[in-house]
Structure formats: structure tokens, C-alpha cells
Structure 1
Amino acid sequence: MKSFQTSDFRLGVCYYPEHWPEKLWSDDYRRMREMGFSVVRMAEFAWSIFEPREGEFQYDLFDRAIDLAHEHGLQVILGTPTATPPAWLTHRYPEVLNVSQEGIQYQHGQRRHYNYNAPVYRELSARIVRKMVAHYRDHPAVIGWQIDNELNCEIDVFYSEADHQAFRQWLKGQYGSLDRLNEAWGTVFWNQTYTEWEQVHLIRPTVSDSPNPHQALDEKRFFSDSAISFAKLQADIIRETAPNHFVTTNGIFGHLDSHRMTDELLDFISFDSYPNFSTLFPDEGEEPLLDRKWSWNLSIVRSISPHFCIMEQQSGPGGWVNRIEQPSPKPGQMRLWTYQSIAHGADMVLYFRWRTAPMGTEIYWHGINDVHNRPNRRLKEASQVGEELQKVGRSLVGKNVKAEVAIVKDYDNEWDGELDNWHGPYEKTSVQSWFKAFQYNHIPVDALFLKKGITLEELRKYKLLVYPHPTILSDETAHLLTEYVRSGGQLILGCRSGYKNSSGICEVRPFPGPIAELCGVTVEDFTRIGPYEQPPRVEWWHGENVTTMAEGFNDILYIDSPSAEILATYQDGYYQGKPALVRNEFGSGTSYYYGAVFNEETADCFINLLGLKSPTADWLILPKEVELSIRRDDSTGETIIFLLNYAADSRTIHLNRKSKDLLTDQVHFGSTTIAPYGTLLLDGSTKQSLT
């Protein structure tokens, strides 16, 4: 996996010199340096400044801005400006504009209103990228490039004529013939068989909004490949023209295989972290994770690049003029969120943004400084982080985040689950439940994506894999999972596993298909829990009797292997007494098949059943509100324990051995208080100096 490489932690900010009078620039840069900032990002929305009219290029404004940044000791990351094509371009070449599924063309006036496949847009994008990179390749301040901005943000579906044409070419490359396409899409059903390529389109409006599911899955694969192709167009230019600059892009959004894109094109992935979105889209349950849920997003980022950049770290309340309004971060939260990113693998963090925009859609998306440019508490908080990272930053970079368990995901099931609501919502619920259970039990967890080419050794790093609902499960993936368990791993699966092949077509074999032998079961019967039904109770047989609820969907299991053992049974309904959870010893390892959707209580039962403990349980007692994360140098054993308090009031922890807080040099032992939204960075090395 590709990672950001640095010997010093880099803290910085996104800066937009085009938004402000030039007389402010020098003072802005001076204050940045005083705050401990060393890097700025700029230019990602400035195409019309570099090319005000087609074929006319100018660089004066950013030459002055970048030269001045260099004078103040700031490094610069430049964004290619292709997320916002200029008005002259969309007016002269309207075919570059994206189109809705209903055929309505989006117009100029916001951002990300273009498509990836219009030949003229690819040509003009390549030209502006080549011009910019050639101009700045030797500038001593410029260290790297962010391709575009947040690929597939705002919108992740594309239906222009150029996209329909490109989709046909993509399908020809995938299948070679219409016969193979028809087979993969099951077009014999409802008389959808295609006899000419011109008959094939991306999904168009359908009766009851229920298109061919196999076509829908391929459509999302195509959207992803289109975005990757567009990024490759730019990455290749940067590699050729400025080989000493790094190449990244920011954000993880829908219908984009960010793992493949990073592996093939980038030096590392960057992420835009806005934990306050949790106030608008809270997770469910009595004890929601809220902003702590962003740790799962950061775990996904870490699955792409173990060491990454936060290109946009939230520094103020977010909101556009017409939507997504958020409360202001409470005192301490901005610092907490910064260390949340660092705890999960960030070795460079840039705040968004230096100063709140005085105009445009994002006038309510606040930066560190308010528009009036007077001191505020966010500025003070960012300065505190800068001072702390100047002290401890070098000891943080390069250390790996440590976890012995992983929640498994893959893009095919994620994309297929958008249409198939028999398993799509289940996966979201189960992942959230497992992550919450691991968090509240202080067990660090990774995200593990089963991407093409993944090896058994990558799986064997983990003692336990939780793969909630792999409805689409190829024979190759099933074989990999089987070998993982055979070699000593533990695997937990949920209902609806092994139901479809890679095209999304149901295999003619007993459920759970290619993993039936591994799990030692077949599915005897199944049912979705109806809207007027209570989910059945499940009685667990291990240790003390425990009862949980089997929510969402129930597979009724039949034992097929002498090594399989029933661990829990349904207690209600027509399948009362039937197996709900089966454990199967397989080789040196164990598989667990659970016939329902996971909730937090069920995940807790599994944690108890497997005897999972926090890696610091022998010396550190933590309340639920405090997150534990560990970064360690594998060669030296040097370890840093991150303790993050997400509560609005102080929390007490207990240490059974002395440990120094690297931020304050205070040695803690016994009961210690963490301030509201506070952070401790404890020296977790067994050999530590406490003098």
C-alpha cells in the first residue's frame, strides 16, 4: 500500500489568495508560521485565473502568492483546477456538462457539473494541467499536486451522451460480445436481450424505478473507471513533467474504487475530515458515536494509505447558504478532531480553511479565521495544536496504527447494495454496530477491503475478520477466506452471505454458496422481518445464558458438518428452536455464521464469546467515552497511546503503571482526568523514561 512519507509532521491550511486583497497575504503567511504551519494548499478552483480565455494563460497572481509563501518558509501543494471548469468552457462546449438520469443537463453556476468522458473536456483538462505543472515544476516551494478536488463529491452518476458512448466501449472491453453481456446481465429475463450495441445505455428512467440489477452494478463499475481514467490523465502528466512532486487527490466518495486509484496512480490518498457532519447524519442507537464515528471513515482511509494526508480538517461550523448547516465546534473539539486524524494515521493535516469565504456558496463554511480577521478561539486552538506538534510531531510520523481485528468490505457489495435493499442497508447497520462495539470495548479495528490481488498474508495479519453480509461472493474470494480460516484465522459472517456471483446473479446452489463447507451449514429457510413483526429473540448457549434480538433478516440454518456446533437458537416464530449461530472448526481456525443482521448487543456477545480484550486492558481502564488508538514503530517498539475524550465533560481513566503524556510531560499513575474533548498521548513503550 502507498503511504505519505515524511520525517517531520506537517501542519498547514487551505489558502485562497484569489479571494483576498493582496495586502493581506504577507500578514497571513506570517501568522501561519507563528502558529507552526509549514504547508498550504491552493489553486484547486482557479482555472479561469490561469486561463481567463481559451488558450490564453497567465500566472501572475499565483506566482506572487507562491513566491511570497516561499519567502515565509511555507511549502505549497497545488490543486489542478478541473473541478470547476470556467464559464467560457461550458458555454462554448456544452457537451462537457453532466446530465441527470432523466436527461436534464446541469448548468454552470456551482461545481462538479462536468462529465469525465467528453473528449473536449479531457483535452482541455490535460492542457491546463500540463501548463500549470510545467510552469511550477521547478518552483522551490511546490512539493506536490492534488488532482481535481473531491472526485465524485456532490454527484457520482453521469448520463451525458459522452458517458453513454463511453459505457458501450467499456462494456465491449469487459465482455467482448453482446452474447456475453446478455448472459452477465441476465437479459433473457423480461425480454431485455440486446442485439446491437447501440441499444445499450447507462440506466435510464424505468417503471417503478427498478432497473436491471446487473446492469446497475456494471454502471457503478463504469463510473469508477471513468473517474480513475480522468485522474490518470492528470497523474501521467504530473509524473512526466514534475517527477519530483508527489501526486494525491482528496476525499473518498461514492462509485469510486479509491484503493485501485491510489495503487495505480497516486503516491498516497488524502482525506477531507468533517466530523461535525455527524450532527446532521447521526448514527442510530441509544449511545451514538456522533463525531467519533469519523474514526471509521479514517480507518477506511488507512486501508488505502497507512500514512495519509488530511487535506481538509474541519476548523469551524460547516454550511452552505442553502443546506448542511452545523453548530460551531465546542471549545476543544477542533483540537480533538485533529488528534483523531493523527491517531488513525495522518502524518500531514491541513485545516479548511484559513479564513471564511466572504462570498459564494460556502460563506457559512467557516475557517480558522472569521471574515473580520480578528482573533477568535478557533485560531487559539489551532495555535495550541501547532505548538504541540512542533514538540511531538517528529515522534509521531511513520508509526503504524495497530489493530488485530478488521471489518471486511468490498466495492461490489457496497454498490450492489445501493439497489438491493435486502442486503445494502443490512451491511451499513452491521458495520456500524460492530465498529461501535469495538470502540466502546477499546479494541482498535481496521477496515480491510477485499480488492483484486489481495493476498492471504494481508488477511493473516488479523486474528479476527468480521465480514457482515457478503452477498456477492466469488469462488476466488471464498477460497481466500477458506485458506485464512484453515491457517488459524477466525471469521464471522452474517445473513445473506454467498448468495450471488460477481455479476450479481444468484448461483444455483445451496446458500451460503461457495462458503457452505467452510461454515458447515446450509440455509434451510429464510425470511425478512416484516414491518409489523417483532424480531425473534436469540438465546446464546455459551457461559451465562444471554438473549439478544435477531433483527432485519433471518437465515434458518441447517448443520451440514460434524465439526459444526450450534451456539445460539431462535426463540420465537415458526422457526423457534432452529439454529441462529453456528461455529465450525475448520483446519486450524474457526468460522461463525450468524443468521441475522448484527446489532451492538450481538457484537458484544461475540466479543465476550471470543474473549477479545483491549490491548491495554492489563494496565489501562477507560470509560466508554474515551477512544483508544495505538501507533507503534515496528522496528523499535516505540509506542504512542492516543486517548481521545469525546464527552462534553471530563472523564476519569485509571493507569496501573506510570506513563508520560507526551504533550505535557506529566507522568500519570492511578486515577487521571481527561478534560472535556481532551486528548492524552501516552508513552506506551515498555521501556520508557519517566524522568
Structure 2
Amino acid sequence: MELINGQKITLGTCYYPEHWDKNLWREDLERMKECGIEVVRIAEFAWSKIEPREGEFTYEFFNKFLDLAYEMNVKVIFCTPTATPPAWLTEKYPETLNAAIDGTLYRHGGRRHYNYNSPKYRELAKRIVEKSASHYGPHPAIIGWQIDNEINCEKSEFYSESDTAAFRIWLREKYNTLDTLNEAWGTVFWNQTYTDWSQIYVPRPTPSSSNNPHQVLDYTRFISDSACRFAALQSSVIRKYKKPEDFITTNGIFSNLDNHRMREESLDFITYDSYPNFAYCRDRFDQKEDSLRDRMWSRNLMEVRSISSNFGIMEQQSGANGWNTGMAAPTPKPGQMTLWTMQSIAHGADYISYFRWRTCTVGTEIYWHGLLDYSGRDNRRIAELKEIHKKTQCLSELAGSVYKAEAAVIRDYDNIWDSQLDTWHNAVEWQSQLSIFRAAQKTHTPLDYVYLRETTTIEQLQKYKVLFYPHPVLMSPERASLLEQYTAQGGTLIIGCRSAYKDMNGRCTTDCLPGLLKPLTGTDIPEYTLVSPEDTPPLINWDGQLLEAAVFNDQLTPALPNAQVLALYENCYYEGTPALIKNTIQKGTVYHYGAAFTEQAAEVFLEKLDLKTPYEAHFTLPPQCEIAPRTKDGTTYYFILNYSNTPAVICLPHQKKDLFTQTYAQGTITLPPYGVKVYQ
């Protein structure tokens, strides 16, 4: 069975047979099937059930569960258990443990305490994967494999001695000589020059609390490479033993990891763990009126969709969030589980697996509720799940369809990682990322992410009429050339402040800004400034519309004949200086905007470029609703999602098919709180 097969929307759940008496297994599987669940994920934290002591392997426990699942026609995703190495392993081999930046080891007792750069851990991880895959791989109940669990979750930094040893090897392969490394890292600053490879470590505590930024950027690339190689190690083993039709995936998208590379090298598709209820955690709740709260998870799903256009949700919110420390969120209200399920499907998910079936009665996650509470009795969420199943059966025809957007935001890992360590970069980056997303959501403008990578082609960019690349601080000649090709062939590119002032090592250019992008933007930047907190924010006057010039301001000057000034700064010492310049390159256009993007500024760009509210001829929607279109074979399916706890009134000027009722609708429709409609 192919899970993402373009034929149907499939439901599943996460199950932990090791947590429950074997006498419950059959009852649980029967009840799952009654709810429409066809697939269970198992074993991601169960190393000791297969290797209870070093070199001693036993398969009886999962043999019994898999045989029962097969008998009952429940399909299984089997996981490699490497996210939680057993006590015998970490006690005997402490070199397999990860460490804090000061060298303190993270000990057994939680999860993700391992270090994937430890040769011993890689050896033992490969062995448990080999033993699991060779034994269970042929089992007819298994349809796919999950590698590890949430790679780089909790800890995405690794500071053990094994990491330093591996980092030195990685650097030698990249730079070949110390002279080349010293030049790239600018080690002449603060007398950091290295004369022997043994002098180089992963970042360590320093008095200034600031490591060499070029070293840290390379260290982050090294962590990503290590994670990708760890996934590839497991994937290569599984592929030797799995049935040809079985898939390989992993779950989550986490920091310091090139998820696109990992998917290309090791996975058939990505799966994501979607917990919109995080928006309502007691320690995270945002009281701001403009907060999109659980609707922000659509931005996360955009990230997932950039990796796999059709994907799975391995863990979908079904109950209250909570660990015994650090997290506490309420039970989803009636309709929210349906809303969040349809949010995932709207953005490209063809498989939805709920976390979890039964709520655990022991351990850290005793407050992380599943579909069933501690007693296991039927409840409101089970009833809602049955209704969700009925709805997904009505959506089978849209399986394999893809999300449709004419605008996208460009991202790239180098700039993401640079913004993590560079305060100036971070300030503009997240201001703009969130503003563009919010503006698109509130104007009902579908939006994609597209990642700029070594393998990115001009065809991938040409799918979009307009590309926002808010703050490409790090820039290479190859990327500048690709952007120029996109523009020359008719694309529209929007660039924000603080662009192209660093090379790919994070060194600031001595060229006039915006460096490598100057031929593209047609601009020069004689001066720039952080917006002072003591000043009234500067304004940008664009055709009489006043936009706040947020965070940082580039004072622009036209530098090429086709460059045209569109807007000027006001109420600041550089009043009258250009703040927005439009440059024409053959068939296309580049806009250089001198500030970070506010929500208002992003909306003005969407409006002026005819992107705003592209489906207003089909639907009239209030701001509380999201529209998400998926297309297949010339047919468009529209998801309308109401994120509010109050009814939403929508209008359909023209007749459309309601897929849930299989009837035709037109005119005024009232969506209940958290209600969803899907129209063809």
C-alpha cells in the first residue's frame, strides 16, 4: 500500500503497544477501524523491546502485534528506535551522549540524548536498524518505515568530543588547508588564527558570549550535514530489506537541518507533526489582537509543502498538549480537531495520523492527550473523528491534487542559519516573514515557500508570477544569476533592505551595496541605519499611502538607466531619499524596498501587483477565514476554514459543489465556529 498514492485521504494514529496490556490490543484495533483508522505507527521509542541487552535480540513482542494487525487488516508504519538509546548503551558508551556547550553530558532519562557524530552510536544505530529491517521488513502488515523520530527536535546543537572530531574532518574536506579556512573565517580578527587542525573545536563558551560568526555558520552547516548523513545511513539499510512498495519517511521539520536534502537523499516524502494547539499554551499565548494563533500553522504547512508537494501528517493534534513540565494547553474545542485536520489537508496532506490513540498514564507526556483519555471510554473526540472519517471519504477525488499559489516567498538555509546567529539579520527577517504571511492570510491570497538551493531550476521559480525574497543577506554569484534569469524572462522579484551584503561565508562585502544584486535592483545604497527606538518610525510615501519603514532603512539611489523611484522616506533626517525603486530587466521587474516589511506594506505590494484576493469572484470571505486551493487535472478544490469561535458568513456568487454534502451551493452560507467547507 502506497500511503501517498493520489487515490484517497487516509487516516491513521500513533500507537504504543509496549505501553498497554496485550489484552487491549485487539479491542483497540477494532475501535480504530470503527473510527476509520487504517494505519498505525509503532516502535519509535522501543529499542529495548528488540535489543534488551547489548547483542541480545528478540523479536517476539512486535511479531505478535504485527501478526494481529495483519489479521485485522490494519496497516503499520514501523519506526527505527534510535531517538531513545537504552540505558545499557549510554551507561557503557558515554561517548554516544550529546553535550551542552560547556561539555556537560546530557544523561539518560529523557529522549534525544544521543549524539549522531559518535562512531559508536552510528555503529549501534546501524545495527539495530539492520536487525529490525531484516526481520520485520518482509512482514505483510508493514507498509512503510519512519526513520528515528523528530530529528533535531529538542536539541539541534551538538557539543561532544565526537562532534569536535567529526567537525575537524568536515572542515578539512571543505577547506583542504588551514590557510583557506583562516581566510574564510576571518580569524585575523581577535587573533583567532589556527596553525593546527587540533586547535579547532565546535563552538565553546567565550567571555563575550559570541563565537566567531563564520565558524558558527559552518558549524550549523556541519550539524545539518551530520543529520542528513545519519538519516541516509538508516535509509540505505532499510532499502536493502523493505518490500519494494513500502515507503521511507521521517517526521517533523526542525532546526539546523536541510530538510529538502534529507528528503531527496533518504525519504520518499516528508511527514509533519502538526500541533496548532501550541498557539494556546499557557506559557506561549499571544494576547495581541492581530495574532493568527492556530492559523499560523498554515505557515508551517507551507514549509512542509516546499519539501513534498503532497505529504503526510504523522502526528496531528487530537487532545490537550502537555508535558509534566513546560507545556500546558487546553483540550481542543468541538470542531477544532476537524478544523486542524482540514487545515493540513488543505495545504497538501494526503495522510493524517492522530497523536495518539490512548493517553499515556506514565512518563513525561502524561498530559499530552490522545483521542482517548486515561479511562479509554468513548468521548466527544472519538465522535468527531468518526465525522472526520465521513468527510475524508468525500474528499477522495482531490487526493494527489497540489496547492495552487501565484506568489511565493524565497527562503534558503544559509540565510535562515545566518539569521539565527546575526541579531541584525534576525530582526528584519522575522518582521518580514510574519508580515508577508499575515498579509496573505488576511487578504485570502494563497502563498508558497520556494527554497533556493544548488539544485533549484529556473522552471521552479517560473511557476510564480511574484517572488518575495525579503532579506537575502548572504548571496552568491550563482544565486544572483538565477534570480536575474527569472526576472529577465518575465518574473517580478521583491527585495527588502539589508540584502547581499555578505558572501556565503558570512563575510561583509567591500563592494557598494547591494553587492551582487546591484545589477538586478539597479540601486546603490550610500547609507543605511537601524531605526532608532527613540524616534517616531520613519514613513514611506508610496502614491499617497504611508507605510511604516520598519526596523532598518536602506537609503536608496537609482544606479541604472531603467531604475525608477516610486517612493520616498518622510519624517526622518533622510526625508526625501528614495525608499522604493523599481528596475526593469528585459521582460521582468525588480522592486527594491528599503525597509523590512510590515503587514500593511506587504498588503500594498499584493494589491499593486494584482495578487490580492484572487478568488473574490468565487467567494466573499471575512478575515477570520482562510481559503486554500488545491488543483488536479484542471479542477480546483477550495477549502474554506473558519478559525474563529464565532460563525462566519461567506458568499458564493456562483454555484459550486459542496464535497461534504455532494450538493450544489450558492448565495449566503454560514460556517459554524471552527467550521470547514470544501467546494469544487
TM bin (shorter chain): over 0.9
Q: Tell me by how many angstroms 1:562 deviates.
A: 2.2
Q: Is the aligned partner of 1:533 residue 2:535?
A: yes
Equivalent pair of 1:3/1:307 in contact (CA under 8 Å):
no
> In the aligned structure 1, how far is the partner of 2:612 from the partner of 2:573?
37
Match of residue 488 from structure 1? 490
1:27-56 Cα distance to aligned partner (Å, 9 max, x none): 110111111111000000000111111111
Equivalent pair of 1:147/1:247 in contact (CA under 8 Å):
yes
Query: What is the percent sequence identity of the aligned residues?
Result: 51
1:177-212 Cα distance to aligned partner (Å, 9 max, x none): 111111110111111111100001111111221111
Q: Is the aligned partner of 1:674 residue 2:671?
A: yes
Match of residue 413 from structure 1? 415
Q: Tell me by how many angstroms 1:324 deviates.
A: 1.4
Q: Is the aligned partner of 1:292 residue 2:295?
A: yes
Corresponding letter in the other structure for 2:270: I
Match of residue 40 from structure 1? 40
SS at the partner of 2:208? helix
Q: Tell me by how many angstroms 1:613 deviates.
A: 3.4
Q: Tell me by how many angstroms 1:475 deviates.
A: 1.1
Match of residue 277 from structure 1? 278
Q: Is the aligned partner of 1:222 residue 2:219?
A: no
SS at the partner of 1:422? helix
Q: Is the aligned partner of 1:640 residue 2:637?
A: yes
Match of residue 116 from structure 2? 116
Q: Is the aligned partner of 1:208 residue 2:208?
A: yes
Equivalent pair of 1:271/1:309 in contact (CA under 8 Å):
yes
SS at the partner of 1:260? helix
Q: Tell me by how many angstroms 1:3 deviates.
A: 10
Match of residue 239 from structure 1? 239
Distance 1:682 1:35, change over 3 A: same
Relative to the length of structure 2, the TM-score reads 0.98
Match of residue 688 from structure 1? none
> In the aligned structure 1, how far is the partner of 2:243 from the partner of 2:35?
31
Match of residue 341 from structure 1? 344
Q: Tell me by how many angstroms 1:63 deviates.
A: 1.2
Greater Cα offset, 267-276 or 562-571? 562-571
Please tell me the root mean square deviation across aligned C-alpha atoms, in Å: 1.3
> In the aligned structure 2, how far is the partner of 1:96 from the partner of 1:6?
41
Q: Tell me by how many angstroms 1:124 deviates.
A: 0.7
Aligned length: 676
> In the aligned structure 2, how far is the partner of 1:144 from the partner of 1:248?
8
Match of residue 102 from structure 1? 102
Match of residue 196 from structure 2? 196
Q: Tell me by how many angstroms 1:286 deviates.
A: 3.5
Corresponding letter in the other structure for 1:523: I
Equivalent pair of 1:282/1:288 in contact (CA under 8 Å):
no
> In the aligned structure 2, how far is the partner of 1:204 from the partner of 1:284?
37
> In the aligned structure 2, how far is the partner of 1:612 from the partner of 1:142?
45
Equivalent pair of 1:35/1:387 in contact (CA under 8 Å):
no
Q: Tell me by how many angstroms 1:391 deviates.
A: 3.2
Equivalent pair of 2:11/2:39 in contact (CA under 8 Å):
yes
Q: Is the aligned partner of 1:456 residue 2:458?
A: yes
Out of 329, 337, 361, the position equivalent to 1:358 is 361
Equivalent pair of 2:618/2:654 in contact (CA under 8 Å):
yes
Equivalent pair of 1:406/1:462 in contact (CA under 8 Å):
yes
Equivalent pair of 2:346/2:403 in contact (CA under 8 Å):
yes
Aligned ranges 1:303-382 → 2 under 5 Å: 303-382=306-385
Equivalent pair of 1:3/1:305 in contact (CA under 8 Å):
no
Distance 1:551 1:284, change over 3 A: farther
> In the aligned structure 1, how far is the partner of 2:462 from the partner of 2:200?
43
Q: Tell me by how many angstroms 1:531 deviates.
A: 2.6
Match of residue 547 from structure 2? 548
1:625-656 Cα distance to aligned partner (Å, 9 max, x none): 111111111xx312211101101111011111
Equivalent pair of 1:524/1:557 in contact (CA under 8 Å):
yes
Equivalent pair of 1:283/1:289 in contact (CA under 8 Å):
no
Q: Tell me by how many angstroms 1:284 deviates.
A: 8.6
SS at the partner of 1:40? strand
Match of residue 613 from structure 1? 612
SS at the partner of 1:164? helix
1:566-612 Cα distance to aligned partner (Å, 9 max, x none): 11111122101111111111111110111111110111111222122
Match of residue 130 from structure 2? 130
> In the aligned structure 2, how far is the partner of 1:521 from the partner of 1:356?
58
Corresponding letter in the other structure for 1:197: W
Q: Is the aligned partner of 1:558 residue 2:557?
A: yes
Greater Cα offset, 140-149 or 375-384? 375-384
Relative to the length of structure 1, the TM-score reads 0.96
Equivalent pair of 2:3/2:10 in contact (CA under 8 Å):
no
Equivalent pair of 1:651/1:674 in contact (CA under 8 Å):
yes
Q: Is the aligned partner of 1:253 residue 2:257?
A: no
> In the aligned structure 1, how far is the partner of 2:79 from the partner of 2:191?
48
Corresponding letter in the other structure for 1:269: I
SS at the partner of 1:426? helix
Match of residue 481 from structure 2? 479
1:396-443 Cα distance to aligned partner (Å, 9 max, x none): 211111111101111111111111110113211201100111111111
Q: Tell me by how many angstroms 1:273 deviates.
A: 0.4
Equivalent pair of 1:651/1:676 in contact (CA under 8 Å):
yes
> In the aligned structure 2, how far is the partner of 1:137 from the partner of 1:440?
47
> In the aligned structure 1, how far is the partner of 2:634 from the partner of 2:609?
27
Equivalent pair of 1:3/1:268 in contact (CA under 8 Å):
no
SS at the partner of 1:203? coil
Match of residue 665 from structure 1? 662
> In the aligned structure 1, how far is the partner of 2:291 from the partner of 2:88?
47
Equivalent pair of 1:3/1:306 in contact (CA under 8 Å):
no
Match of residue 163 from structure 1? 163
Equivalent pair of 1:4/1:267 in contact (CA under 8 Å):
no
> In the aligned structure 2, how far is the partner of 1:276 from the partner of 1:530?
36
Equivalent pair of 2:540/2:569 in contact (CA under 8 Å):
yes
SS at the partner of 1:628? strand
> In the aligned structure 2, how far is the partner of 1:340 from the partner of 1:625?
14
Show structure 1 runs of 5+ residues with no match: 684-691
Q: Tell me by how many angstroms 1:282 deviates.
A: 5.5
Q: Is the aligned partner of 1:583 residue 2:585?
A: no
> In the aligned structure 1, how far is the partner of 2:291 from the partner of 2:676?
20
Equivalent pair of 2:471/2:497 in contact (CA under 8 Å):
yes
Equivalent pair of 2:271/2:312 in contact (CA under 8 Å):
yes
> In the aligned structure 1, how far is the partner of 2:4 from the partner of 2:422?
37
> In the aligned structure 1, how far is the partner of 2:122 from the partner of 2:358?
33
> In the aligned structure 1, how far is the partner of 2:555 from the partner of 2:3?
44
Q: Tell me by how many angstroms 1:667 deviates.
A: 2.2
> In the aligned structure 2, how far is the partner of 1:380 from the partner of 1:494?
49
Show structure 2 runs of 5+ residues with no match: none
Q: Tell me by how many angstroms 1:376 deviates.
A: 1.3
Q: Tell me by how many angstroms 1:346 deviates.
A: 0.5
> In the aligned structure 1, how far is the partner of 2:95 from the partner of 2:250?
25
